[in-house]
Amino acid sequence: MRKPVQMAIAFAACAAIVMLTARSEGQTAAENTQPKARSQRTGTRNPRPNELLENSRFIQIPGPNPVIKPGPDGAWDDGVTEASDAFKDVDTYYFYYHATGGGKGYRLGVAGSKHPLGPFKKHGDKPVLDLGPKGSWDDRYVACAMVLKEAEKEYYMWYSGYGSPPKHRKWSIGLATAEHPTGPWKKHEGNPILEDFGYVGGVLKVNRKYHLYSAYPISSAGYKGDYSPLALATAQRPEGPYTKYPGNPLMKKGDFGDWDDGGISEAEVLYHNGAFHMFYGGTHLLGPRLESIGYAYSLDGYNFIKYGRNPVAVRQANPNAAAFAEVHAIIEPPFVYLYHTLRYEKHGDDRFGWFEDLGVQVLVTQRPFSLNMPVLNIESLDSGQTTSLDQSPPVSLGHVSRLSLTAECAYSKNAARPIKIHIRASYDGMTYDTVDLYTFENDFKPGQTARKTIELDPKVPFIKVLVENQDQSRSVSDIRVIAALAG
Q: Which residue has the higher pLDDT, 38 or 341?
A: 341
* pLDDT band per the 50, 70, 90 thresholds, residue 457: very high
Is the confidence at residue 482, as pLDDT, over 70?
Answer: yes
Rounded CA-CA distance 326/346 in Å is 20
Is the confidence at residue 431, as pLDDT, over 80?
Answer: yes
Helix, strand, coil percentages for the chain (3-state, nearest 5)? 5, 45, 50
Is the confidence at residue 126, as pLDDT, over 60?
Answer: yes
Please provide the average confidence, as pLDDT, over all residues in the chain. Answer: 87
Beta strands in 247-288 (DSSP E): 263-272, 275-283
- How confident is the model over 165-212, as pLDDT tens digits? 888 889 999 999 999 999 999 999 999 999 999 999 989 888 889 999
Rounded CA-CA distance 25/305 in Å is 21
Are the C-beta atoms of 406 and 485 separated by less than 8 Å? Answer: no
* pLDDT band per the 50, 70, 90 thresholds, residue 105: very high
Give the residue among 98, 70, 94 at the shortest CA–CA distance from 13: 98
Long-range contacts of 313-316 (CB under 8 A, 24+ apart): 313/58, 313/60, 313/279, 313/338, 313/361, 313/363, 314/60, 315/290, 315/291
Is the confidence at residue 307, as pLDDT, over 70?
Answer: yes
Q: What are phi and psi of 309, to 5 degrees?
A: -110, 25
- Looking at residue 205, its pLDDT comes to 87
pTM of the model: 0.89
Are the C-beta atoms of 442 and 408 separated by less than 8 Å? Answer: yes
- How confident is the model over 207-266, as pLDDT tens digits? 889 999 999 998 887 888 888 999 999 999 999 999 999 999 999 999 999 999 998 888
- Looking at residue 350, its pLDDT comes to 54
Q: What are phi and psi of 185, to 5 degrees?
A: -100, 135
Per DSSP, the residues of 421-461 read EEEEEESSSSSB-SS-SEEEEPP--TTSEEEEEEEE---SS
Considering the chain, what percentage of its residues have pLDDT values greater than 90? 75
3-state DSSP assignment of residue 22? helix
> Position 120: which residue type?
F
- Looking at residue 21, its pLDDT comes to 32
Q: In CATH terms, are 20-364 and 370-486 the same topology?
A: no
CA 163 to chain centre: 26
Is the confidence at residue 26, as pLDDT, over 50?
Answer: no
3-state DSSP assignment of residue 29? helix
Q: Which residue has the higher pLDDT, 419 or 348?
A: 419
- How confident is the model over 42-101, as pLDDT tens digits? 333 344 556 666 555 899 999 999 999 999 999 999 999 999 888 889 999 999 999 999
Q: Supply the Cα-derived Rg of the chain in whole angstroms.
A: 23
- Looking at residue 288, its pLDDT comes to 86
87 beta partners: 94
Average pLDDT estimate for 377-406: 97
In CATH terms, the fold of domain 370-486 is Jelly Rolls (2.60.120)
Q: Which residue has the higher pLDDT, 422 or 273?
A: 422
Return the CATH number of the domain spanning residue range 20-364.
2.115.10.20
- Looking at residue 65, its pLDDT comes to 97
All residues at 6 or more sequence positions from 164 whose CB lies less than 8 Å from its CB, including other chains: 134, 135, 139, 140
Is the confidence at residue 27, as pLDDT, over 80?
Answer: no
Rounded CA-CA distance 66/445 in Å is 32
Domain limits of the chain?
20-364, 370-486
Question: What are the helix (H) ranges across 252-409?
Answer: none
Average pLDDT estimate for 444-459: 97
* pLDDT band per the 50, 70, 90 thresholds, residue 124: very high
- Looking at residue 49, its pLDDT comes to 52
> Position 325: which residue type?
A
